[in-house]
Chain A
């Protein structure tokens, strides 16, 4: 509105892009030179902005749905001191999730009042593949007599493993809200909306935001795993989230859990600080032997000319001469019949927070994984990893164990409705 450029002088964004495309045929640099201005925002990808991930279904979105480029986990303390208050909180969260993931116009108020929306996405919110996933922490149950009997079977405060240096200010919480979207602004907008809309129900405890590098698909249509900040592809051996039966076994909580919890999932969040300067000063061969894959392609060490999709043959290498027994991927997943039940679905983000007091980069991994069985999943895997050579280069400093509520069935349902229903029963089913 305050644009004082004479009308007709400044091309519209659409015209500009079309023009750029036409000019690019003849001279790839001419268009940029003619049109680029410092004040112009980076060009948006309208198709990406319009992507909508439905928040409804048997499971929450943001678990087996594709991982977009940005994500965060925010942990909150909860005020609810009665089943009614908890229901109000869950209904309110559901309303915000339904609105934010659908997108649309923000509310306009009298300008003498504070605006209803932070405005960082403008007056019209694009869905931008936004997902908001809500998980409950052990303290939510343990601190409330009326809720404690309904706790998921294995939910507890996050264990402190031998290599952990946990900072209490970055651990645990009553509720974890995972927010993912294509754009960082969309993620931050959703977080600010929830904080502004629910000040009387939840208090922010800690938050970690991260991102995943975008990777161009190869000619054959496959997309390689994104790299973490150690420069390795991360997620090569992840179970295929498109295989429903596999996800039913690996990710979604079933019969052992209380009835209300089925269709949910255990979420493990770990803030893993990486000592990246030191890592970058480590010989490549040692990096690869510590990790267990080649750095460039992610191929297993016994298939160095292959791809990350190739499966290492540990049976042919029982003494670990090629893939060391202590290497990260071999400890994490020894690929024996016995360890098949330890599969987890990883969905992490890289983070970069600035500089430590020692003048080193504060970078690492916002590790997030999902499993039907916490003990057989993350805990078993981490217990095998304890003492791995790579521990020299990273240290977990925070995080928590949470349990993702089952999905919001449809627009008439709300998050945790089954839990609330069971709370209302005179004799709670302790399952």
Chain B
């Protein structure tokens, strides 16, 4: 996939998503540049997770389109879409590790499915990825034996297994204590610095946003209310964006 270095990694155009009659996303336009950490935020039920799931193709939009690396996902079962999907990693809210496989088998799964690497090399990569997320001891554990934070780290190792240039994280800090959450934030920053990947994070954790965000996309009732640098968002004096950062209820 040849991409112009200036062209956006993800572009969302006039995206409308409905659940039955209810419009969840109402005409979202945005784009994410390479190597940035973009945080999608907003109050509960504003459509953050729906936007992320629409971008990665898990939800079919009512109208509009999403392009990843210049290509629109049409059918996730198609070979063309599989090619794009190999270039992204997704960290789900609860990790979504396959419960019947060990942590190592989970991390190895995308490598076994999408590469012809010898098993020994795959095993070496698995150990490397687990070390990257500071989880080498969890190699032979099952997901059910891990704590919430460990499960997310293991899921992150799996999401990074194929060295994707684009990583999506759905509420990585949800349900974690502040220390574990901060650890995960610094891990994401380190990954961006070392691998230069683009990270898209859905969250409403203020501390996380402050720690990692380059730019933010603020959703309010399914519409983007602010799309720009974090510092600019913090300078806004009134309205839902300011209320969000001041932890005030918007009237």
Decide whether A and B assemble into one complex: no
